[in-house]
């Protein structure tokens, strides 16, 4: 007695690889264009970090090993795949997660409260206080937001005195009596990932 088996049709067992795993995900066309224009993030070997649905940080690391050569015209997305080390076997095929691709190489930057950065026509500025205690507007190039702090790629030095409180009352050319302030980092509020953030599913290595 037993189960009926038909040659070349009945699946007796499925063998999967759990270390490493393939993480397959889709990214938006806008995200692909951004990475391609920067010359990063859309080529094999690009560093990637993954977090699971119940995790707050991207702790699982790997590298991109496949990017499709065409977009899904209906969804406006492109399919990609990364290989993720899984030595402890914690990750399981079929798990869902979000991915973060390396968009640039590490670079020195300063952090200021996001509320200290203001729009001035087509540029972004911060108010700084010079040696004569006069407020001046300083154009800056901003980067991503980290919690409540904004990355400043260029335009400031570590010795600049930035107005972090009372920015709505500050005016260029006005003399002030500066008071020491303290910049503290607050965690970003929990939120759903943005629509252009790659999200995908873990698959056994070898599946595509």
Bond prior to 181 in cis (omega within 30° of 0)? no
Highest mean pLDDT among 30-34, 67-71, 107-111: 67-71
Please say whether the beta carbons of 132 and 175 come within 8 A. Answer: yes
pLDDT of residue 31: 82
- Residues in contact with 73: Cβ distance below 8 Å, sequence separation at least 6, in sequence order: none
pLDDT of 143 strictly over 90? no
Q: What's the confidence (pLDDT) of residue 187?
A: 61
- The answer on pLDDT for 208 being more than 70 is no
Q: What is the mean pLDDT of residues 120-130?
A: 91
Report whether 127 contacts 137 (CB < 8 A). yes
Are both 143 and 71 inside the same structural domain? no
Classify residue 190: in a domain, yes or no: no
Higher pLDDT, 142 or 42: 142
Is 202 within the bounds of a domain?
no
Q: Evaluate if residue 98 carries a pLDDT over 60.
A: yes
Is 116 a member of any domain?
Answer: yes
CATH classification of the domain holding 83:
2.40.30.170
pLDDT digits (tens, 9 = 90+) for 176-202: 888 888 888 776 555 444 444 555 665
Q: Residue 56 falls within a domain, yes or no?
A: yes
Average pLDDT over residues 121-127: 91
119 and 139 inside one domain: yes
Total-model pTM = 0.52
Same domain, 32 and 73: yes
Decide if 16 is inside a domain.
no
Cβ(19)–Cβ(86) below 8 Å? yes
Give the mean pLDDT of the chain: 81
Residues in the chain: 208
CATH of residue 136: 2.40.420.20
Note the pLDDT of residue 128: 95
pLDDT value of position 3: 64
Q: Which of these ranges, 2-16, 30-44, 151-165, has the smallest mean pLDDT?
A: 2-16
Token code pair at residue 7: 């040659």
Q: Among all chains, which residue has been given the structure tokens 């009372």?
A: 166
Q: Say whether both 95 and 119 belong to one domain.
A: no
Tokens of 162: 């930035």
pLDDT value at 97 more than 50? yes
pLDDT of residue 191: 45
Beta-carbon neighbour count of residue 162 at 10 Å? 20
At 12, is the pLDDT very low, low, confident or very high (cuts 50, 70, 90)? low
- Identify the H or E element spanning 37: helix 29-38
pLDDT at 83 over 70: yes
Q: Domain count for the chain, please give it.
A: 2
Q: b vs e for 24-48, b when ≥16 Cβ sit within 10 Å of the residue's Cβ?
A: bbbbbeebbebbeeeebbbeeebeb
Can you tell me whether residue 56 is helix, strand or coil? coil
Domain carrying residue 120: 110-162
- What is the Cα–Cα distance from 134 to 29, expressed in whole angstroms? 46
3-state secondary structure at position 44: coil
The answer to whether position 100 is within a domain reads yes
Q: 100 and 70 in one domain?
A: yes
């Amino acid at each position: 007695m037993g189960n009926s088996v038909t040659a070349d049709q009945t699946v007796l067992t499925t063998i999967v690889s759990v270390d490493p795993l393939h993480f397959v995900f889709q990214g938006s066309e806008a995200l692909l264009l951004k990475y391609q224009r920067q010359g990063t993030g859309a080529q094999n070997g690009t560093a990637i970090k993954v977090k699971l649905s119940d995790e707050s940080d991207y702790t699982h690391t790997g590298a991109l090993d496949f990017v499709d050569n065409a977009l899904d015209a209906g969804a406006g997305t492109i399919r990609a795949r990364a290989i993720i080390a899984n030595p402890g076997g914690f990750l399981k095929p079929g798990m869902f997660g979000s991915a973060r691709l390396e968009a640039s190489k590490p670079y020195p930057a300063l952090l200021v409260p996001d509320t200290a950065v203001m729009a001035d026509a087509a540029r972004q500025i911060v108010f700084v206080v010079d040696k004569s205690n006069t407020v001046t507007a300083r154009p800056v190039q901003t980067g991503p937001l980290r919690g409540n702090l904004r990355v400043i790629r260029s335009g400031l030095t570590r010795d600049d005195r930035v107005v972090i409180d009372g920015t709505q009352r500050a005016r260029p050319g006005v003399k002030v009596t500066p008071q020491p302030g303290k910049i503290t980092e607050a965690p970003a509020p929990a939120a759903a990932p943005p629509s252009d953030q790659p999200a995908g599913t873990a698959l056994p290595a070898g599946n595509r």
